[in-house]
Amino acid sequence: FCDIDHFKRINDSHGHEAGDRVLKAVARSLAKISDDKCHVARHGGEEFVILLRGQTLDEALRTLDEARRTMAERRLVNRANDIPFGRITFSGGVADVFAHASPREALKAADDALYVAKNQGRNRILTASDECVKTAA
């Protein structure tokens, strides 16, 4: 899972139309990692699900972290008023489906890792196997 950091603040400060443009920018950034073994889908609100087949947990972490860093380096401006949005970042949680009893449990583990990433300051990707995630769960 990944979730745009401070998305409500973007909507509140710049309006929902601008928030939609930020959603599209993040979706385009995530789409760049998409291929026949990587599928990206909007899960709802400002959250996306990324399925990375054929990658180890470490490879998946690196893939998502590279997308996170690339997005954080971009500087987006609200075209309606030329006011910068500031840095757009997202946080993520990664889980290995084969390390869990079911895909549903893997999604829950990824969501738990995302929750910890948000609570640790955002703009980071954690795995469900990270010690801080296991302790928090």
User: Which residues are identified as catalytic?
Assistant: 46
Sheet arrangement for strand 38-44:
38-44, 47-52, 2-4, 90-94, 125-127
Report the amino acid identity of residue 96.
D
Distance, in Å, from the CA atom of 127 to the CA atom of 100, rounded to the nearest integer, reads 13
